[in-house]
A and B are shown apart, each in its own frame.
Chain A
Amino acid sequence: MRTRSLAAVAAAMVVALSACAESGGTEPAKPSDVSKDLTTENITLTLAYTDDPPTQALIDAFHALHPNITIKGQQTPFSDYVKSIKLSMAADTPPDIAEYNPGAMRSLVPAGLIYDLTPYEKLYGWGEAFPASSLEVLRSNQAAKEYGTGGLYAVPGALSVLGVYYNKSMVTAAGIADTPSTLADFEQDVAAVKKGGKAPLSLGGLQVGGFQLWNAFTNALGDESQYRNWVYGKPGSTIQTDAAKQAAQKVIDWVNAGYIPASANATADSDAQANFTNGKSAYLVTGNWAASAIEKAMGDNVGFFLLPQATAGDSVVASGASVAYSISSKTKHPNEAAAFLDFMRDAKAATVQFDTGFMPVNNETAVQATGVRADIAADFKKVVADNGIVPFPDFASPNMIDRLTSGVQGLLSKKTTPDAFLTSLQESWTEYHG
């Protein structure tokens, strides 16, 4: 008797559950009635984001220009943001604007929950105003399987780039006078630091620092369009290239040479950064998002350069990303939301972006900078001019970040061969892009 009624309850539940099959369209959404004319009424938009700086400062600067448009920011720590943003965008009353995260929000594209911004791109002429590579990475086809092509799903609000920070006094003590102009130069510099009895590099192998080093080597050694196509999921692409293999081998070589600390696999990114700012290593490979914190800790004693190419004179390639914003297809004020996105190329926004440690979206703006941020700004200008910004490799498929992290841990502990590492990456790519 008891078992029978339990079974009945269970059966009823399953029926009820199958009735609440999940809703959501299957068509990409495009805004209609696009216009530059904004409302004069007092309205409030909500903006969900994780990166601050620069978001709140950008919101404030926008509000100063449009006092009748209030933007209410909702900040969530990164690891919670990537878990919850997809669901909040699928809710009945989603935020009007949301900071874009490709991994977490990819499925919103085919579900039609964020706008394809192409009509606004045409209206405002964004194609001219933003660096091409910064928009390219935010484009996706309808199925969200191939990027760098198709509709535009977000607009960058601040740009970042991966490079090398160096401790000036440690480098000088090792007898190094200039920043390196080829990868071989850099290896000599690293060897000189090692010879002087100091640790050349801090590395956060526990998290993303490890694969970012491999990524930087790959960009220095190989053909950028091959790499870019692979990250974008272009049919037939592969990461099993000579450059990627040499880059993986170089990670192993650097471990063997003692350039990379043996404890790298147990070191978190924040710990690696702390080691560097505390003078425990001469170099740190990370992005300009860390610039303001590093400058605060080290003052004038720190400099920055982009990892040089293998051959002198080749145009520089570096991984970069952006803090970008998307518009919900359920917003009641798409034109005002688009105006906020358009504001990102404004000179006032550029000041905010630069002051908060990022690179301005509009690189025509002259920015006043000293110290490490002047280094970053100068190098960034060069790489953007060469169209040398490429996306980060974890963008390529949903579980790529796990493959990259554990794969490079294998290289660092000399348990994984470069071939096995690249095979594992390609396997994840093929599983997703087919």
Chain B
Amino acid sequence: MADTAPLARRRPRRRARRVVALLYIAPAALVYVAFAIWPAIHTVYLSFLDWDGILPATSAGFSNYTDVFTDPTLGPALWHAIVLIVFFAVIPCALGLLMTALLQGNVRGMTAFRVIFFLPQVLPLVAVGITWRWLYNDDGLVNQGLRWIGLGGVTRAWLGDYNLALVALGLIGTWAMSGLCMVLFLAGAQKIDVALYEAVALDGGGPVRRFFAVTLPALRGEITIASVITTIAALASFDLVFVTTNGGPVDRTTVPGLLVYRLAFNESDIGRASALAVVLTLIVIVFVTAIRTLTREKA
């Protein structure tokens, strides 16, 4: 406080304005602190406790963290989440860019396309998961389709397959996330100056050149946002996994979020669950920072 005092004395009016401004911010800030900041800090606090949710908690020091890092189930779960990034983030962004390149300009039925591709985004992931569980079923739509095109030999209960369950799960994410990426990119592409495309055309550049020279660089911001959102969705995935495979078969589709849930609700180990949640948050921050650094514009 000491360093602001002389400043305030010199400009009392400014200070009053500041108080008013703070009052405006206060309601939103209070809600944010109560429902986002406070629980986050509370989680960190809980991660240093040994607590089953009922009996008095005792201090656990760093033991929850050492448990988390020595738990043999964490490694595979983390690896699965990283594989999911390919399906939740990389493929959807690539598809989104492709669709943007194809749909750019005045294509007929553009709005219809956009609505159709964005539709998965407005459905709750739990409903998406249950629907896909049926589609992937032994005699679900996916296998019916495969039989119809003569691929009856490869049909199987996809989500129960030891080697392919994770891929099958990932493709649900691809289906759900691609629309989001496409809508973001299409919106971004609309603000590109048409003169730039004309310039490329004058230089004799075709559609491919136009895409790489103009569209792609102009969408840098949108690509960053899309990859951050989808990467977080992959690393922190829980609901989709919970309703489709619940980590199975044989823990081949476990993700860190599912392990947090099991620790907290099945095993009543709130401390370890919190420690794992904190670690997961740090991992998400590392990935997001990496993406932002990679896509940052050169100064």
A interface vs B, CB < 8 Å? 1, 10, 13-14, 17-18, 21-24, 26, 82-83, 86-87, 90, 103, 106-108, 110-111, 113, 205-207, 261-268, 271, 398-399, 401-402, 405-407, 409-410, 412-413, 415-416
Contacts and interface: CB of A to CB of B under 8 A. Distances in A.
Contacts, number: 121
Nearest to A110: B55
Contacts of A18: 45
Interface string B8-27: 00000000000000000000
Nearest to B45: A17
Given A206-B160, A406-B247, A413-B250, A398 B266 contact: yes
Nearest to A105: B54
B248 interface: yes
Contact of B266 (A205, A207, A266, A402): A402
- The main secondary structure of chain A at its interface with chain B is helix
A265 B168 CA distance: 14
A94 B160 CA distance: 41
A42 B91 CA distance: 66
A18 B250 CA distance: 39
Nearest to A403: B251
Interface residues of B, number: 38
Contacts of B251: 406
Interface stretch (B151-159, B177-185, B290-298): B151-159
A399 B262 contact: yes
A410 B53 CA distance: 32
Contacts of B161: 265-266, 413
A24 B54 contact: yes
A1 B160 CA distance: 55
Contact of A399 (B41, B56, B267): B267
Contact of B265 (A24, A82, A113): A82
25 contacts: A1-B4, A21-B56, A22-B51, A22-B54, A22-B55, A82-B265, A107-B53, A205-B249, A206-B245, A207-B246, A261-B138, A262-B156, A264-B157, A265-B159, A265-B248, A266-B137, A266-B160, A266-B161, A267-B157, A268-B133, A398-B266, A398-B267, A406-B249, A415-B162, A416-B250
B268 interface: yes
Given A17-B42, A103-B266, A108 B249 contact: no
Contacts of A14: 41, 45
Contacts of A409: 160, 248-250
